[in-house]
Chains A and B, each alone.
Chain A
Amino acid sequence: MRHRSPFLWLLDKEWRELLVSRAWWVLLFAMGPLVGVSFISAVRTYAEVSGLNGTSAGVGEALSPLTGVWAPTFSACELAAVFLLPFVAIRLVAGDRQSGALKLELQQGMSPFARITAKTLVLLAGWLAAMLPPLSAILLWKSYGGSVYPPELLTLTFGHVLNAGLTIGLAAAMSSFTEHPSTAAILTLGVTVGTWIVNFFGAIQGGWWERAAGYTPAAMVAEFQHGLLRLDTVLVALVLTLAGLGLAAIWMRLGIAVNRRACESIGVCILAAGGIFACTFLTPGGSLLRTSWDTSESRSNSFPEADEAALRQIHAPLRIEAHLAPEDPRRLDLEHHALSKLRRIMPKLEVQYVSGTSIGLFEQTRAGYGEIWYDLAGRRTMSRVTTAEGVLESIYSLAGVAPPPENDEAVFRGHPLAEPPTGAGAIFYALWPGLVVASGILVSQRFK
């Protein structure tokens, strides 16, 4: 018997517990068909718009593999993180309590934070194993002759690992709070549904709800799917994950009085809220926390480079007042095509939406509805255009900056690929599930 540190023994134990967890094997098994369905349909669509089977060639020039293939393919991870991963995490965290092992292990004296770290590391390793099917889809895509742009794929993969971290933090906290794993599962799914409700309210109400909705897992993943890596989003996700794991560690200490654990939990929640507030509303160091990187090859989150260079020359604070209701499609256009890009390049931008209703349908006749007012260092102008070009034109005219000439060479032309998803069905519907079943049988025999 070799001498190992207690932490390594704990890692070994958690890994073995993961290996015997049916929930994990179900997750692994399901990832094959889930990825298969999305990858195959995405590649087919991509091929069709690229000219396969007599469709109009050239439409695919507008498509990038990130939005056309990888976002839908990796969406299987989002589904698995919501509906399957929580059960794996709950099994690993609550299992010790259910079996009575926790009573023995707690007497070792190891910090509960070290214990929860071991569980998290093993769960993340288990999640990375579950991400093998979408990652293997990249090789398959390459074999078809598809283009791969590593930075956007790394961002997307990182986003899904971060999302898994959030799920693990949440499920771990719920497992430690509750006596029974089924209660933990209900609470975990309840919180997830709660974030969907926040998204729903954000879309309808706007304002604070909209801001809060920007930090829900679904919104976070959507940003990564567009190749956008925002520092504040990453930090908020890390704060929430650490808060969940911290709460799990606190409630794992069965020998500490409930009142004290409750006080410590409140402390963790206050710290987490402070961290989120700092990441969301404070912008120290010249908007350091608002730093973001557009890793997409198509620069879908950015203006053309020439426009960005021109905008950087404008140092005066810019205020935009848009009289558009939250559910007005023009507001969505304005936000997604112009303002979200503008925020990344102009840190002194302040945007205010004004509306009396959420749908805006009955406000159309009100004087001033639909107007977008721009205020730059006291100079004001109004426009009703919600396209990126229209917004830039208004800003340039206010700032007295000449619009940069269009550069056709800098425009992303896409990577059309008119290839069917050959072999993908065999890999994701047969080979992967078969491998998982065979490995599961081998492992279960080893443990018998």
Chain B
Amino acid sequence: METMLFEVNGFSKRFGSIAALTDVSFHVRAGEVLGLIGPNGAGKSTLFECLAGVLPSDGGALRANGRPVETRERSSLLFYVPDAIAPWPAQSVRWALDFTIGFLRGPAPLGKEVPLREELIDQLDLRQLLGQPIGTLSKGQRKRVLLAIGLLTPQPALLIDEPFEGLDLRQARDIASTLRAHAARGRTLFLSIHQISDAARFCDRFVLLSSGRVCGEGTVSELAALAAAHHGSPPHQDLEEVFLALT
């Protein structure tokens, strides 16, 4: 049985009269690739920001090893890579990667980060971009730099918002294999994906989110069984169909 890395209990978040998250609960296992599936506006980014502590939640708790993890302690457990940001736009990609190692990873002495940086530069095809300011990169190039930043951080869990957004098919496949390789080394990946077909190919388990509520959690077969139980129909092994049935 896989060990649980952390558990999310009853997260909720409102923006005025709009409920972005309502009683969101699920668990994340160590070393798995977990997909957060949901249409645009389902609350995926809000959930990630609340989990990472960059947006205050109205309620709920994150628990690890049986005890609650306060917001200020979460930086030792997880790291969140937002979508559609262009951090330090005037600085070069090379500097951003060094800054990630020097600053974002904390005060611990340097270990395998420098070889890892070189490995990521090759895996994510960043060598040509190293001297370029981040603000001048295309959406897809920026996404690859953000992924490299995320993968250079030391936290056991990495939350990535829309990892395949802005990438062409070949790049998406390359990045999927890079992420898989890092997951195989024990890194837990929690990915928010609105393209269900992408998620189905890549993730071990899924959390289905719709209108800020969790509609289901588990593998495709577990979700299919859940959908079948809800509707009294034979189980369907297609994630898209399962998603539609549960939301």
Contact = CB atoms under 8 A, between A and B. Distances in A.
Interface residues of B, number: 38
B54 A10 contact: no
Contacts of A254: 54-56
A256 B103 contact: no
Given A20-B90, A104-B87, A107-B79, A447 B133 contact: yes
A108 B103 CA distance: 7
A104 B71 contact: no
B78 to A, nearest CB: 8
Contacts of A103: 49, 52, 54, 80, 82, 85
A106 interface: yes
A401 to B, nearest CB: 65
B156 to A, nearest CB: 14
Interface in B66-93: 71-72, 74-76, 79-82, 84-92
A448 B88 contact: no
Interface in B118-176: 133, 149
Contacts of B104: 104-105, 107-108
Given A105-B104, A108-B106, A255 B91 contact: no
A100 B161 CA distance: 13
Nearest to A10: B103
B98 interface: yes
A100 B82 contact: yes
Given A255-B54, A256-B71, A17 B106 contact: no
Max chain A C-beta neighbours (<10 A), residue from B49, B53, B81, B106: B53
Interface of B is mostly: mixed
A10 B101 CA distance: 12
Contacts of B110: 1, 3
A312 interface: no
Given A1-B101, A107-B75, A108-B104, A256 B56 contact: yes
Contacts of B54: 102-103, 106-107, 254-255
A447 B71 contact: no
Contacts of B99: 9, 12-13
Nearest to B75: A109
Contact of A106 (B53, B81, B107): B53
Interface of A: 1, 3-6, 9-10, 12-13, 16-17, 20, 99-109, 254-258, 447-448
29 contacts: A1-B98, A1-B114, A3-B110, A4-B102, A6-B103, A6-B107, A9-B99, A12-B99, A13-B88, A16-B95, A20-B91, A99-B85, A99-B88, A101-B85, A101-B87, A101-B88, A103-B49, A103-B52, A104-B87, A105-B104, A107-B52, A108-B75, A108-B104, A109-B72, A109-B75, A255-B54, A256-B56, A257-B56, A447-B92
